[in-house]
């Protein structure tokens, strides 16, 4: 096959691939529209976590408030705090798989 014909064939193949890729991107965006509210919620949660992470004084204030609260309230918060800590450990143990989600923004 002459070089010129090969170049034309490759150019046509490239153009077909570009059209196929564009159609696939369009189909993917249509399918992901249904997930948009869920993804927006996840973005808000991540933004809130980053906000809290950058403000350690908030944690100190919450601990001081906890120290002044009633025994029943402390027991309730302790129970939920343990659950939250377990969940946090679980997420961070899976960090390699979730690295795109937990990256600093």
Give the pLDDT confidence of 38-77 residue by residue, as tens digits.
888 889 989 988 888 888 888 888 888 878 888 888 888 8
Both tokens of residue 75? Answer: 């027991």
Domain end (from 54, 75, 95): 54
Q: Are 91 and 44 within one domain?
A: no
Q: Are 47 and 94 within one domain?
A: no
The pTM score is 0.41
Q: Are 73 and 41 within one domain?
A: no
Q: Could you report the per-residue pLDDT of 16-34, keeping only the tens digit for each? A: 999 999 999 999 988 888 8
Q: What is the domain extent for residue 96?
A: 56-105
Cα separation, 2 vs 77, whole angstroms: 77
Q: Are 48 and 6 within one domain?
A: yes
Q: Are 42 and 5 within one domain?
A: yes
Angle at 93 between CA 37 and CA 47, to 5 degrees: 35
Q: Are 89 and 79 within one domain?
A: yes
Q: Are 47 and 4 within one domain?
A: yes
- H/E/C letters for each residue in the chain? CCHHHHHHHHHHHHHHHHHHHHHHHHHHHHHHHHHHHHHHHHHHHHHHHHHHHCCHHHHHHHHHHHHCCCHHHHHHHHHHHHHHHHHHHHHHHCCCCCHHHHCCC
Q: Are 31 and 11 within one domain?
A: yes
Q: Could you report the per-residue pLDDT of 78-105, keeping only the tens digit for each? A: 898 899 888 888 877 777 666 665 555 4
């Amino acid at each position: 096959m002459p070089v010129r014909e090969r170049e034309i064939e490759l150019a046509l193949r490239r153009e077909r691939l570009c059209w196929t890729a564009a159609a696939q991107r369009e189909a993917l965006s249509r399918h992901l529209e249904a997930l948009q509210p869920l993804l927006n919620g996840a973005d808000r949660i991540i933004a809130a976590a980053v906000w809290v992470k950058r403000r350690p004084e908030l944690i100190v204030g919450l601990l001081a408030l906890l120290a002044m609260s009633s025994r029943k309230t402390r027991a309730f918060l302790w129970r939920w705090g343990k659950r939250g800590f377990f969940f946090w450990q679980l997420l961070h143990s899976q960090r390699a798989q979730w690295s795109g989600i937990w990256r600093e923004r």
